[in-house]
A and B are shown apart, each in its own frame.
Chain A
Amino acid sequence: DIVMTQSPDSLAVSLGERATLNCKSSQSVLYNSKNYLAWFQQKPGHPPKLLIHWASTRRSGVPDRFSGSGSGTDFTLIISGLQAEDVAVYYCQQYYSIPYTFGQGTKLEIK
């Protein structure tokens, strides 16, 4: 299984500032120039919401303050200009090989 490791486990950022969340996979999820990596946002009592797939493609309707980058085994989700509504747990997931696996999550809070 591909192990997904996120860092940090929790993060406190001031409103309007930048939040940087990291995700590392135990093996490359790159194939044919595509990274099989997604980022989700989960708020309490709600299902995960897809923010970004293919490592850097924002889903339609997702604010452009959310951006994804990285390739191979190292990935980053950046939230620029943090807003109160961004408080949530963020998960990365690889869909390169079965079983698809998720990271343990990063809990984002307001400082």
Chain B
Amino acid sequence: QVQLQESGPGLVKPSGTLSLTCAVSGDSISSHNWWNWVRQPPGKELEWIGEIYHSGSTNYNPSLESRVTISVDKSKNQFSLKLTSVTAADTAMYYCARNHYDWGQGTLVTVSS
């Protein structure tokens, strides 16, 4: 059974960079799946951020594309999210997911000085 676990700083300063990692267990990051990041501001709906295939191919939400980078580390069986120039509007629960099937528990990131 696949498990995904997000990790990273819970507090990021405005204009800084949000960096999160998703550790995958129970499946290989090199399997035929797309590895996704999704976020949810407190009390609001879900927003898809982007996805990556093990080959390194990526798709991003155009609304965030200029600030987002998703990468994969096959040696550690994990993938990562970087979001630059953050503002309070980026405060959210961030989830990683395997396709749309399996999700991590999420990690709350607050943007505040």
Enumerate chain A interface residues (CB-CB to B < 8 A): 1, 38, 40, 46-50, 53, 59, 91, 93, 95, 98-105
Cα distance, A101 to B38, chains bound together (Å): 10
Count of inter-chain pairs, beta carbons less than 8 A: 43
Q: Are the C-beta atoms of A102 and B106 separated by less than 8 Å? A: no
Task: Output the least CB separation between A15 and chain B (Å).
Answer: 26
- A46 vs B63: C-alpha distance in the bound complex, in angstroms? 26
With A99-B61, A99-B62, A99-B63 as contacts: A48 and B103 at CB distance below 8 Å? yes
Interface: B28 (CB within 8 A): no
Which of B45, B59, B95 is close to A98, meaning CB atoms less than 8 Å apart? Answer: B59
Chain A residues, CB < 8 A from B100: 38, 40, 50, 53, 93, 95, 100
Given known contacts A47-B106, A99-B62, A59 and B101 CB-to-CB distance under 8 angstroms: yes
Whether, in the assembled complex, B104 has its beta carbon less than 8 Å from a beta carbon of chain A, the answer is yes
Q: Which residues of A contact B45 (CB under 8 A)?
A: 91, 102-105
30 A-B pairs whose Cβ atoms sit less than 8 Å apart in the complex: A1-B62, A40-B100, A46-B105, A47-B95, A47-B103, A47-B104, A47-B105, A48-B46, A48-B103, A49-B103, A50-B100, A50-B101, A50-B102, A91-B45, A93-B46, A93-B48, A93-B100, A95-B100, A98-B61, A99-B48, A99-B60, A99-B61, A99-B62, A99-B63, A100-B48, A100-B100, A101-B48, A102-B46, A104-B45, A105-B45
